[in-house]
Amino acid sequence: MQILIADKAGFCAGVRRAFHIAEEAGRSDCSWCTLGPLVHNDGVIRYFEQKGIKAIDVIDDVDKGGVIIRTHGVPPQIIQKASAKGFLIQDATCPLVKRVHEVAELLRGEGYDIVIFGDKDHPEVQGIMGWCDNKATIIANPDEACDYAGTKKLGVISQTTKDEKDYFAVVSALISKSHEIRVFNTICSATRQRQESARKLCQEVDLMLVIGDQCSSNTQTLTRECQQTGVKTWQIQSAADIKTEYLEGVKRLGITAGASTPDWIIKEVLDRMTEFGDGGAPQEQKQEELVQENQVQENLNEESFAKMEAEMADLATPEKGDVIKGIVIQVLDDEVMVDVGGKSEGIIPLREMSFKDVDSAKELAKIGDEIEVLVLKWDDDGTILLSKKKVDSKRAMDELEESFNQGSQIEGTVVDSVKGGLLVDVGAIAFLPASHVEDGYVKNLDEYIGKTFSFRIIEFNRHKKRGSQIVLSRKQLVEAERLKLKEQFWSSIEEGQTIKGRVKRIVDYGAFIDLGGFEGLLHVSEMDHVRVNHPSSILSEGEEIDIYILALDREKQRVSLSRKKLIKSPWEIVLEKYEIGDTINGKVVRIAPFGAFVEIEPGVDGLVHISQLANRRVEKPQDVVAIDQEVQVKILSIDPEEKRIGLSIKEVVTEADNQEVQDFMEKQDQALEQQADTKTPAEIAAEDQE
């Protein structure tokens, strides 16, 4: 008889974690008990009873010592009560069950009515009820879901060991029962994997043996899954339950086990199988070839079990420093849960996902992703803490070391500025000294944050304990690029050209302009047609401007630039804007014995002769105007060749006075006309006779 073992069978990560917690507790001097059976398996319960750890039903059954919370979890009130009584507490609740508690608490807090798909008497469901204030409806099957009355806001969760197809059928029946429904698939991945593995094995065998306790929900579900394939299936708790008639006529036997079944019980069943031959009866004296055949089969059985045992036993539990592959099974904002090859589930905190600064792990991973992780440690509660960041870092460090040895370029993104330089993400965090950012002094390092550049590694020491393991430079690359651009610049530049430039540095006497490979000086005298007090008053560093090539000295490689050439002079503006006879506003800027100078445009002043200051004789201009006084003036003359403008305040005043007299006379005429319109014919005739 050939014996085949399911790929996924026996202890799941949650049970193995609880087993580990209980064993650690049993080694201490404190007396411990479990609140309810640690798992649904008599063999495990007896194992811990021999170590002095007994199962109790209620907290009041013990007075002191420590309490281990079972894998199925408990309502929060029980933990609070145990804590209030002073008990030491070890929480062996399966991490996936804890997630269900969190979801139930969340839904209750947001005002959802809750439906739990599960068995009302199962301890896991009773625990979930406690986390939603015992205000949830428990539905055991799709038929009960059809009878559900419905509600406005509905949240649906499941006991972790239920069948996924049944859960989806329940959800389908509930969709029409609510205006708003939130569904969380909280069925354990280990349960699903064991069911899939068992169904696959059923297609290859004549008989399936499902090993597990009769009280185990996941084992019962596993048995039903096998039976539904049509293959003959028996559920047994141990090797003692195997009956000879089970095996009559069986050529290929399949074995699987529930998630709470320990490996030693599976091993006992396999050992028991070696006592049966093809006919199903215990073997007596057999022919030599049959003995050899059975020996081969026994070796195969041992090999199959050894493979499975290696996956389940403590010695195969991932240890600190192991790098293992896993599948993402849940993504929250602050952490990612990973199924590590079906052997364990671990947690990657957000801080261990990536060097990148993100708000949620959902930006970095999604369910179904295969990732490599490093085992950091077993947390105090038995949770395996993992790191993806460190695996990515190691891989990156290997690649970076190769780049360093070969002297090749790498790309990276500046992520932050620190004292003395910048931090750069090149797969790992590297340091870029300020002196190596450019080929010259950099005033503001923060402007590089978020930008991507090419670098060379100038120092690499992955074993360095203090300081940066990776030191970068882009100075040489910048110099090489600048030399290339410089050659291109001198080969194409000519006097009289207008090109784009970027203000690189501002000094008192001008500004240095980056012309794309070469720097030229824009002297302060060539910035504008008017006097510039300081270059920073009209230019700012980093600004892009049009610039005129005023002169070139190729031998000394000097470039003189002008901005003034490209902008209109104040006199050009005046000639375009004003004409003789215009009345305009201006400001008195200087006073002389012969009159006052008035600025009408920046850089252009006109003269108001003393004779044009007022309608009276003026002894001194100060008697009429003052510096910075705003005045209205009339343009009397414009001489573009001599660049002189004659202005008059008197003309403006005279015209204003004349206009005032004219307005008065017009008002008098209008008044007389209105009076004439109101007189009778007799009054008009009398005035005519007079």
- Is 66 within the bounds of a domain? yes
pLDDT at 207: 92
- Model confidence band, residue 65 (pLDDT cutoffs 50, 70, 90): confident
Candidates 209, 162, 203; CA nearest to 184 is 162
Q: What is the rounded CA–CA span in Å between residue 342 and residue 195?
A: 13
pLDDT at 205: 92
More confident residue, 297 or 564: 564
pLDDT at 180: 92
Q: What is the rounded CA–CA span in Å between residue 395 and residue 412?
A: 15
Residue type, 128: I
Q: Could you tell me if 316 and 343 are in contact, meaning their C-beta atoms sit under 8 angstroms apart? A: yes
Asked if the model's pLDDT at residue 452 lies above 60, the reply is: yes
pLDDT digits (tens, 9 = 90+) for 332-348: 888 888 877 544 578 88
pLDDT at 421: 92
Q: Could you tell me if 250 and 4 are in contact, meaning their C-beta atoms sit under 8 angstroms apart? A: no
Q: What is the rounded CA–CA span in Å between residue 409 and residue 317?
A: 41
Query: DSSP code of 562?
Result: E
Last residue of a domain, one of 502, 536, 566: 566
More confident residue, 229 or 272: 229
Q: Are residues 327 and 306 in the same domain?
A: no
Number of domains in the chain: 7
- Is 484 within the bounds of a domain? no
Asked if the model's pLDDT at residue 632 lies above 70, the reply is: yes
Q: Are residues 125 and 162 in the same domain?
A: yes
Q: Could you tell me if 522 and 560 are in contact, meaning their C-beta atoms sit under 8 angstroms apart? A: no
Q: What is the rounded CA–CA span in Å between residue 58 and residue 37?
A: 11
Q: Are residues 453 and 500 in the same domain?
A: no
Candidates 345, 363, 270, 360; CA nearest to 309 is 270
Indicate if 124 belongs to the active site.
Answer: yes
- Is 118 within the bounds of a domain? yes
> At which residue do the structure tokens 């859960």 appear?
167
pLDDT at 626: 92
- Is 398 within the bounds of a domain? yes
Q: Are residues 308 and 221 in the same domain?
A: yes
Coil, strand or helix: which one is 671?
helix
pLDDT digits (tens, 9 = 90+) for 141-170: 999 999 998 889 999 999 988 888 899 999
Q: Are residues 124 and 165 in the same domain?
A: yes
pLDDT digits (tens, 9 = 90+) for 469-479: 899 999 888 88
pLDDT at 686: 65
Find the angle CA(168)-CA(172)-CA(173) to the nearest 5 degrees.
Answer: 120
Region 524-543: what's the mean pLDDT?
84
pLDDT above 70 covers what percent of the chain?
89
Q: Are residues 72 and 103 in the same domain?
A: no
Q: Are residues 163 and 206 in the same domain?
A: no
pLDDT digits (tens, 9 = 90+) for 6-34: 888 888 878 888 888 888 888 888 889 99
Measured over the CA atoms of residue 46, residue 50, residue 51 and residue 57, the dihedral's sign is: positive
Q: Name beta bridge partners: 372.
A: 325
- Is 5 within the bounds of a domain? no
More confident residue, 559 or 596: 596
What residue spans of 553-605 are helical by DSSP H?
570-577
- Model confidence band, residue 687 (pLDDT cutoffs 50, 70, 90): low
End-to-end CA distance of the chain: 154
Asked if the model's pLDDT at residue 545 lies above 90, the reply is: no
Region 52-62: what's the mean pLDDT?
85
Asked if the model's pLDDT at residue 298 lies above 80, the reply is: no
Region 186-205: what's the mean pLDDT?
87
Region 649-654: what's the mean pLDDT?
86
pLDDT digits (tens, 9 = 90+) for 198-221: 999 999 999 999 999 888 888 998
Question: Could you tell me the CATH number of the domain that includes residue 130?
Answer: 3.40.1010.20
Mean pLDDT of the chain: 83
Question: Could you tell me the CATH number of the domain that includes residue 34?
Answer: 3.40.50.11270
Q: Name beta bridge partners: 601.
A: 604
pLDDT at 172: 93
- Is 571 within the bounds of a domain? no
Q: Are residues 90 and 105 in the same domain?
A: no
Q: Which of 49, 102, 124, 481 is catalytic?
A: 124
- Model confidence band, residue 276 (pLDDT cutoffs 50, 70, 90): low
Asked if the model's pLDDT at residue 284 lies above 60, the reply is: no
pLDDT digits (tens, 9 = 90+) for 359-379: 888 888 888 888 888 888 765
pLDDT digits (tens, 9 = 90+) for 581-593: 889 899 999 999 9
Residue 273: both structure tokens together: 């199988």
Asked if the model's pLDDT at residue 558 lies above 60, the reply is: yes
- Is 7 within the bounds of a domain? no
Rounded to 5 degrees, φ, ψ at 33 are -145, 160
Q: Could you tell me if 141 and 88 are in contact, meaning their C-beta atoms sit under 8 angstroms apart? A: no
Region 389-399: what's the mean pLDDT?
86
- Is 572 within the bounds of a domain? no
What residue spans of 229-274 are helical by DSSP H?
263-273
Asked if the model's pLDDT at residue 116 lies above 90, the reply is: yes
Nearby residues of 192 by Cβ (< 8 Å), 6 or more positions away: 164
Last residue of a domain, one of 344, 366, 387: 387
Q: Are residues 520 and 433 in the same domain?
A: no
Residue range of the domain that includes 50: 13-95
Q: Are residues 590 and 690 in the same domain?
A: yes
Query: DSSP code of 610?
Result: G
Residue 36: count of CB within 10 angstroms of its CB: 22
Region 635-645: what's the mean pLDDT?
88
Q: Are residues 383 and 406 in the same domain?
A: no
Question: Could you tell me the CATH number of the domain that includes residue 638?
Answer: 2.40.50.140
Q: Are residues 357 and 433 in the same domain?
A: no
Last residue of a domain, one of 160, 187, 214: 187
- Model confidence band, residue 689 (pLDDT cutoffs 50, 70, 90): low
Q: Could you tell me if 562 and 526 are in contact, meaning their C-beta atoms sit under 8 angstroms apart? A: yes
